[in-house]
Structure 1
Amino acid sequence: MKKTLYIFQSGELHRKDNSISFETSEGRKMLPVEDINDIYIFGEVDATKKFLEFASQKQICIHFFNHYGYYTGTFYPREHLNAGLVVVKQAEAYLDKEKRLVLAKKFIKGSIGQMIQVLKYYQSRAKTNRELFLQTIDELQSVLDKDKKWENVEEMMADEGHAREKYYSRFDDILNHHPDFLFEKRSKRPPLNRLNAMISFGNQICYTMILSEIYKTYLDPRIGFLHSSNFRRFSLNLDVAEIFKPIMVDRLIFSLINKKMITKKDFDKQMEGIMLSEEGRKKFIAELDKRMKTTVNHRHLGKSVSYRRLIRLELYKIQKHLLGEKEYEPYRSLW
């Protein structure tokens, strides 16, 4: 399986014959291009035109993050998988109110369903407030039961937002009210506390990881269904991320904190908020990379697949739905 390359050092990326050369103050590293799926750049890195042409030829997406760990953009190579029929069907489904509503509902139900699974997992392990977990699970389920009453995307997104607030309200219980990682409230750009800093950083990685997987399909990342296709560059990855954030990002965060793998020392206070430090981002990425390579049993395929592969399979299901081959049902974890 191809690997994701994460670069935190500063340096220069070049094409060297049929490999990638990364030159730093410490020397040169040769990177075998055939083993690379995508590249995440966090350091101050210069890239030559020949390197970018080579990356495009080898179908490698390159995601850039700034000094503070904010996502700044993606070098998204020219599509190498082209199917006019899929793009036409995707646009048709977006423009048809009923067809768009069907898919948007699927993403919302998938998202809330995953939140419920996360709460069930931690409810069985909670030391206190188990009854509050059950209450929150019932509240989320009641939102799911409203799906037949949703008449537009804005209405269902508002309900999903309320459900997510209830879901977040259990984070302090999951983390045993850790004094260094109290949730307080959801805050973004900038995050106002350590837990929010981890959520924001993890979500950005999730969005870009799904974007890399979309590139390997016939789907167009610019046409989403839950998130409007407007002047933002990509939106389909935001839709699909709703399903994977609870199990990819949130559960990883709980594990990192509860196992004391990340502590308050791994954060920097900025003028406007709090961010993971470079060391904190390295720890987060290292554990996320391990998690994405972890295999789980896929109940429909009857075999084990990695978390990363689960994302690609989800995209194939959406593609089949658009082509009228099989109705899309969002993935739901059983653990």
Structure 2
Amino acid sequence: MRKLLNTLYVTSEDAWLSLDGGNVAVSCSETGKRMVPLHILEGIVSFSYRGASPSLMGECVKRGIQLSFFSPRGRYLASASGTVDGNVFLRRQQYRYADDEKSSLRFAQNFIYGKIYNARYFLLKFGRSYAMRVNQKVFNDAADAMKKMLKEAQDAKSVEELMGIEGTAASIYFSLFDQMVLQQKNDFSFLSRTRRPPMDRVNALLSFSYTLLANDCASALQGNGLDPYVGFLHADRSGRRSLALDLMEELRSVYADRFVLTLINNRMVAPADFDLQESGAVLLNEEGRRRFLQEWQKKKTEIITHPFIKEKMPWGLVPHIQALLLARCIRGDIEEYPPFFWK
């Protein structure tokens, strides 16, 4: 259990939330009973499967506190709200910004700036950490090229121009991805990024990790009252959670890509975890998915310090904090959306 930006995050799977006077009481087997005053909270996010008492839900509705429920694995379930959902004003403002080219570009630039920054930093850090095993100069040269693209992203005059800059940066980044595969090279070689379907084992791992990350981002956006289907960078498309794809851009390299490389380089996956389809597609099989999901959940529990709010938290809460910051920016509580900059 932790309180961040006036939002209480309950991460214990067996926690039961109830009302105790003017407090939310969080009871679980590990820590016993702890109480937090309701008057200091703007939201409560619970990842417990046990839920909350009706009296607490009623009091949260009365006080205008957003009470959101997620499965322990991070799937959005529901939120408690009154007969009139106050988030309608937040979503209406989101739609106004999405329909305005200048406003959309402003948000899109922050997403892409964060993506290029993190990918560049990842290359620099990898090159330094494995200087005896990779060509560090090649990594540094790529980082120098991407540094120029940070300025270009800031100066982009349209979302289309911004997407072109992002595409060039991604091409440079993925041109070095095979060099970051340090173990099992014969079984996990990477030539280029292939999607729908992935055509090799590395792409199968990347695609699955991106799917999970997109789900986490969509759940986080819903929990903060935003519509995950209406984005600023990715165009509207029926059934596509465009805002979730926007939000995950800055987290791809430092969250999903690093995780995939850890699985391969630490020999946590093997060729037996994949099936080859008649079409040539390569997909994780049932055992591979099980192992992947186990490690993905462990990854979420790793503690980091959030670079913007300077608070320690598990990785799994990062999408929720970024969604919360995005909602605050859309409401006008903060001037600019702060991307997640990995340190």
Q: Where does the alignment leave 5 or more consecutive residues of structure 2 unmatched?
A: 1-9, 14-47, 53-66
Larger mean Cα displacement after TM superposition, 201-210 or 302-311: 302-311
Q: Which one of 146, 156, 164 corresponds to residue 150 of structure 1?
A: 156
Alpha carbons 2:91, 2:227 under 8 Å: kept: yes
Deviation string 1:98-153 (CA, Å, 9 cap, x unpaired) is 11110011111111111112112211122121101001111111211212441211
Distance 2:294 2:51 in 1: 18
| Counterpart secondary structure, 1:145 | helix
User: How do 1:93-242 and structure 2 match up within 5 A?
Assistant: 93-126=97-130, 127-176=133-182, 178-242=185-249
Match of 1:278 in 2: 286
Within 2, Cα distance between the matches of 1:229 and 1:310?
A: 25
Q: 1:302 to 1:190 in 2, by over 3 A?
A: closer
Alignment deviations for residues 263-307 of structure 1 (CA, whole Å, 9 cap, x no partner) = 212111111111111111111111111111111123443431111
SS at match of 2:216: helix
Q: For the Cα contact (< 8 Å) 2:230–2:243, is it kept in 1?
A: yes
**Structure 1 residues 294 and 101: alpha-carbon distance in aligned structure 2, compared to 1, 3 A threshold:** same
- Residue by residue over 1:231-274, the C-alpha shift from the partner in whole angstroms, topping out at 9 and shown as x without a partner, is 23421111011111212210011111111111212111111111
8 Å CA contact retained: 2:308, 2:338 = no
| Contact persistence 2:274–2:285 (CA under 8 A) | yes
- Residue 129 of structure 2 aligns to a residue whose secondary structure is coil
2:318 maps to 1:310: yes
Assess if the C-alpha contact under 8 Å between 2:308 and 2:340 holds in 1.
no
- Deviation, structure 1 residue 59: 4.2
**1:246 aligned to 2:253?**
yes
Q: 1:317 to 1:185 in 2, by over 3 A?
A: same
* 1:33 correspondence with 2:37: no
Residues 56-91 of structure 1: per-residue CA shift (max 9 Å, x gap) = x9845799xxxxxxxxxx997588564122111111
2: CA distance, partners of 1:333 / 1:270: 37
Supply the distance in 2 between the matched residues of 1:298 and 1:107 (Cα, whole angstroms). 17
Structure 2 CA distance for aligned equivalents of residues 261 and 166 of structure 1: 27
CA RMSD for the aligned pairs? 2.6
SS at match of 1:268: strand
Residue identity in the other structure for 1:106 = N
- 1:58 and 1:311 map into 2 onto residues whose CA distance is 15
Q: What SS does the aligned partner of 1:209 have?
A: helix
Distance 2:179 2:258 in 1: 13
SS in 2 for 1:227: coil
Q: Find the aligned partners of 1:164 and 1:171 in 2 and give their Cα distance.
A: 10
Distance in 1, matches of 2:12 and 2:258, equals 22
Q: Percent identity?
A: 26
Give the letter for the 1:154 counterpart: E
Partners in 1 of 2:313 and 2:265 — Cα distance? 26
State the TM-score, normalized to the length of structure 2.
0.75
User: Which residue does 1:21 correspond to in 2?
Assistant: none
Shift of 1:229: 2.3
Q: Residue type matched to 2:142 in 1?
A: T
Q: 2:339 aligns with which of 308, 330, 333?
A: 330
